[in-house]
Amino acid sequence: MTDQREKPISSRRAFLSASAAVAATPVLGVRAAQAAGHGLHRQAPDRQLRALLREIDPNRIGAIVTRLAAFGTRHTLSAQDDPARGIGAARDWIFEQLSTYAAASGGRLTVELQSFIQPVSSRIPVPTRVTNVVATLRGDTDPDRVYVVTAHYDSRASDVLDATSDAPGADDDASGVAAIMELARVMATRHTEATVVFAAVAAEEQGLYGSDHLAQQFRDAGADVQAMFSNDIVGTGDAHDGTAADPRTVRLFVEGVPTAETTAEANVRRSVGGENDGPSRQLGRFVHDVAENPQTGMKVRVVWRRDRYLRGSDHISFLLRGYPAARFTEPRENFAHEHQNVRVENGVQYGDLVEFCDFAYIARVARVNAAALWSLAQAPGTPTGVVIDTTRLTNETTLRWQRGTSADLAGYEVVWRETTAPDWTNVLAVGDVTAVTIDLSKDNVFFGVRAVDRDGHRSPVAAPRPAS
Ligand SMILES: [Zn+2]
């Protein structure tokens, strides 16, 4: 290919060096910037990721979903000490399974039971012990940078306080638990640069209490959680309602205006826009970039809202604390199969049964998660301190940021798009610098900055905030 847009990086670097010689901050002429910038390419899975994706096993996922459903109910208020039935038995089984994965990790994967007493509150009539099962794969070179993936292992029947009726919760959310457990298994034998946390949380159905505790623990520890995903209802691409199945699509819900936006941030947004450039939106673009490909076999249908109407999930606990977060869920739900007692009524089967799950589908969703988490954990962290200079009125754009600390950091790329475009359309490699001036007006496009490592892994994009 001799496409003008495929200019090798070296020629752009040469131009930047020449510019840098005459100015403290490299200045890119508008014609040069437009020529060197080009349409973005998808980030293809690296060799290790391709091998990892092939290891994700639908049969193992099927066995996990089936086992979890066989605990009868996993209601948060159900028995905690019965070895066969109830949430306690499910908790201990998940812990044991994750511990066997940890045994193959050379000490990098550790598993803990994270318990607390939830006091009387909405949907919690008596003080109740809630336990998250948390597996942490410690990063080799950047262990303080954390990515979190969750699913909830509690289930419910029609009455949200009914702790005794059967509540198999196969799709909601044994499917998500199976996906993250299989992810933990295949990632445990590999080395990641950053830390990845796989958490089966409880009390989601009662009010997100488990994930609320998990997110607060990270907040209290000052943890650098750079992305979080909830996998909730990822059991099938077939709604079993007479509509055509859509087995190659997963939805990803990502909010626009941040849930935790401050008043000052809101004022900036009203002034110059940015409704579509919050950190979760950038995460959504990143997942679409790295996870929609032939190796996952999936289309990532990004939905620009925090969650579905009348519904929420554990990502909200992280959004409330300012962490970028998103929720995976199947393309079309059958509400007769969620939050319903198992029964047949007028010839219709109600209940969240294993027979409505598609284990190959869940495996593909797990591959989408794997592509996202692997790409995040192997790339440099999202750039920090990114600002757009507003010291004076000018038709140029000066961007500044702090240099990251990743051991294999190679440099940075500036991306931009028309303000009306949904995703980045142009990219410009600017080298290992912390400031650049581009002869394009910041009034007319949206800019972002991402980091690149020596292997070509790109970080999520950080949108600049104005600073003078
Ligand atoms: Zn759920």
Q: What is the DSSP string of 22-58?
A: HSSS-EE-HHHHHHH-BPPPP----HHHHHHHHH--H
Task: State the pLDDT confidence band at 5, using cuts at 50, 70 and 90.
Answer: very low
Residue 203 alpha carbon to ligand 1 centre in Å: 10
Ligand 1 centre distance from Cα of residue 152 (Å) = 7
Please give the distance, rounded to the nearest whole angstrom, from the Cα atom of residue 272 to the centre of ligand 1.
37
Per-residue pLDDT tens over the stretch 256-272: 999 999 999 999 999 99
Q: With CA atoms as reference, report the closest residue to 38 among 459, 417, 456.
A: 417
User: Ligand 1 centre and the CA of 348: distance in Å?
Assistant: 22
- pLDDT of amino acid 41: 78
pLDDT at position 26 over 50: yes
Amino acid 39: pLDDT: 61
Q: Which of 403, 463, 453 is nearest to 43 (CA)?
A: 453
Is pLDDT of 355 > 50?
Answer: yes
Which amino acid does the sequence have at 286? F
Kindly state the average pLDDT of the residues 231-240. 97
Q: How far apart are CA 177 and CA 198, in angstroms?
A: 9
Residue 19, pLDDT > 80, answer: no
Residues, CB-to-ion distance under 5 Å, ligand 1: 172-173, 232
Q: What is the pLDDT of residue 468?
A: 83
- The string of DSSP codes covering 385-403 is S-EEE-SS--SSEEEE-PP
Closest C-alpha among 227, 328, 329, 312 to residue 278:
227
Q: Per this entry, what is the length of the chain?
A: 468
Q: Which pLDDT band, with edges at 50, 70 and 90, does 9 fall under? A: very low
Residue 236: how many CB atoms within 10 A of its CB?
27
Q: How far is the CA of 330 from the centre of ligand 1 (A)?
A: 11
Say if CB 72 and CB 86 are below 8 A apart. yes
Residue 22 has pLDDT above 50, yes or no: no
Please name which of 334, 247, 325 lies closest in space to residue 283, comparing C-alpha atoms.
325
Residue 16 pLDDT > 50, yes or no? no
Q: How far is the CA of 235 from the centre of ligand 1 (A)?
A: 11
User: Rounded to the nearest whole angstrom, what is the distance from the C-alpha of residue 233 to the centroid of ligand 1?
Assistant: 6
The chain-wide mean pLDDT, for the chain, equals: 93
Give 34 Cα–ligand 1 centroid separation in angstroms.
Answer: 46
